[in-house]
Structure 1
Amino acid sequence: MQLSSNSLSEKMTFSTVFNDFKQLTKVGLSLSVVFSSLAGYLLAVEKIQLSTLILLAIGGYLMVGASNAFNQIIEKDTDALMKRTMNRPLPSGRMHVSMAMVIAVSFTIVGLAILYSINPKSALFGAISIFLYTSIYTPLKAVTPLSVFVGAIPGAIPFMLGWVAATNNFSIEPGMLFLIQFFWQFPHFWAIAWLQFDEYKKAGFNLMPMGQKNRKAVVQIIIYTVCLTLVSIIPVLKITGSFYIYPLTALILVFLGSTMLYYAIKLYKHQTNKEARQLMLSSVLYITLVQIIYVVDKFLH
């Protein structure tokens, strides 16, 4: 009986440690970033190399995991003030800061080494992403809503990183992929900031544009949603090098963008969390489908 009780306790401990590890590195977010990188890679290559694809997935995951771990080390005290984050491994005391630091540093070194093994430019963009997210975006969050603009840069790197990993070249095509994901960050993140407004306030964060949760903020969301849709269909004009799409694909993207715009306008009218949540979910659907549609379109050329 004692043996089975010990095994149960070990299992529970392992389960807790594993869940804490997943929370520290934000596995869900990291996997969505890996998805973006792989989509960018598939858009660029003529012939898929499985080894590069696997290295990109692992390197990309470690890069984002490192950024998230550093972020949670820096925000340990503010995380303790918010319901959404107070049960994370560091504020709850289940994990020591030194352990989190070991994970963050290990992920950074191994992740960048893996990206470097693909090509040096991939490692460079990976390093820029970790640096901006950890050293500039995270501290700025407590200072100014403009931090969202800084955070949008590392947030937009993964899609572009896939193209760079495939070609070892930064040109108009990966620049375009960067621009698409850059504009997408704003309606997506401001919808989250709307939902978490009171919680963020407790921690001293105000991430809404101009610091206000009102119609003026939603006007910004609407503007960026329109810009996102326009930028997403620019490749139909065939002015973006080897990255171009069919007119039918552009029409599908306009429809997807219009769906996001519909929820943004609803948020403008009603200003409730229900519309903000709908906008946030439609933005996640948008970026996921856009990446899939681009890849499908490419393989139809």
Structure 2
Amino acid sequence: MKTAVETAGGQTFSLIFADFKELTKARLAVSVVFSSVAGYLLGATQIDVLSLLLLSFGGYCMVGASNAFNQIIEKDLDAKMMRTRNRPIPAGRVSVNTAMLLAVAMTLMGVITLYILNPKTAMFGAISIFLYTGVYTPLKTVTPLAVFVGALPGAIPFMLGWVAATNDFGIEPGTLFMIQFFWQFPHFWALGWMLDEDYRRGGFKMLPTGAKDRGTVLQIIMYTIWMIIISIIPVFGFTGRLSLSITAGIVVFIMGMVMLAFAFRLYEKRNNKTARKLMLASVSYITLMQLVYVIDKLV
């Protein structure tokens, strides 16, 4: 039978772990690691388990550090918004000093771990933290162009895996970067549409026109079309070692058209329910697209 001390200790650990996951945005971090692993599998001529583990650990540290820095900077604004006011810092469960210590430690561990893979991987990881924390986060209350800046570090993970596998940056990782770069606009603006009222409480300027209007949706449609085009370019043999069979290209194209249909649906309806469907479609697209790329290479 467990003692009261053991039970209390277990509950305390669970609470600390829950706050750690929230500070580092664990679900987002895991999805980023998934993108990096997919990029690694596309670039690797021979899969090395240790390299995959280093990439996964280092990638999680870098994303987790960025998210922790973000929550430190925005602690007062987070307290004003419904969806963020119960985060560890504004809720008072974690102090700023503790969060800062965690963020710095994860940054150092992430850079060192990625450097063991190769210096280029560590460099791109460090650039992503700087852009996300030092440029994107402060701009969110200033201009909707912050989304463009935030899309730069957000597009690095897929590319980062290729660089980790090859220690090289060329047209292949550049193409992976562009796919994820264009994908982020419809994804994030659909999310921004859903949360627009809450974002306004925090003073954030997320939507490109500043309003939930047809202008915003037209930009969503435009970036979705560019995403589809870039996603199927490897079919035509212009992207070096990064290739895609005709069959896989058709599958990716169909998935992109499904996402585009949701974007047109948002243009028609312009409500939160339709924006949510587009956001979920975008999450499905990026995950399935990466799986199609990897499976196509392996088979």
TM-score range (shorter-chain normalised) is over 0.9
Deviation of residue 210 (structure 1)? 2.0
Partner of 1:121: 120
Partner of 2:246: 247
1-structure distance, mates of 2:111, 2:269: 45
Partner of 2:143: 144
Partner of 1:64: 63
Partner of 1:109: 108
2-structure distance, mates of 1:12, 1:81: 29
Where does the alignment leave 5 or more consecutive residues of structure 1 unmatched?
Answer: none
Where does the alignment leave 5 or more consecutive residues of structure 2 unmatched?
Answer: none
Partner of 1:169: 168
1-structure distance, mates of 2:10, 2:61: 26
* Mapping 1:46-57, distance limit 5 Å: 46-57=45-56
1-structure distance, mates of 2:246, 2:95: 54
- Give, as a single letter, the amino acid of the residue that structure 1 aligns with 2:91: S
2-structure distance, mates of 1:285, 1:182: 16
* TM-score relative to the length of structure 1: 0.98
- The answer on 1:90 being equivalent to 2:89 is yes
| 1:154-205 alpha-carbon deviations (Å, 9 max, x no partner) | 0000000000000000000000000000000000000000000000000001
Deviation of residue 15 (structure 1)? 1.3
Deviation of residue 254 (structure 1)? 1.0
* Mapping 1:1-301, distance limit 5 Å: 4-300=3-299
1-structure distance, mates of 2:165, 2:291: 17
Deviation of residue 12 (structure 1)? 2.1
2-structure distance, mates of 1:56, 1:12: 31
- Give, as a single letter, the amino acid of the residue that structure 2 aligns with 1:214: D
1-structure distance, mates of 2:77, 2:4: 37
Deviation of residue 299 (structure 1)? 1.4
Deviation of residue 249 (structure 1)? 1.0
- Give, as a single letter, the amino acid of the residue that structure 1 aligns with 2:188: F
1-structure distance, mates of 2:96, 2:3: 32
* TM-score relative to the length of structure 2: 0.98
2-structure distance, mates of 1:245, 1:15: 44
- Give, as a single letter, the amino acid of the residue that structure 2 aligns with 1:37: S
1-structure distance, mates of 2:170, 2:6: 55
2-structure distance, mates of 1:232, 1:131: 27
1-structure distance, mates of 2:4, 2:207: 50
Deviation of residue 7 (structure 1)? 3.2
Query: What root-mean-square deviation, in Å, do the aligned CA atoms of Structure 1 and Structure 2 show?
Result: 1.1
Give the number of equivalent residue pairs: 299
2-structure distance, mates of 1:234, 1:80: 44
- Give, as a single letter, the amino acid of the residue that structure 2 aligns with 1:80: A
| 1:40-60 alpha-carbon deviations (Å, 9 max, x no partner) | 000011110111011000000
2-structure distance, mates of 1:273, 1:212: 13
- Give, as a single letter, the amino acid of the residue that structure 2 aligns with 1:131: F
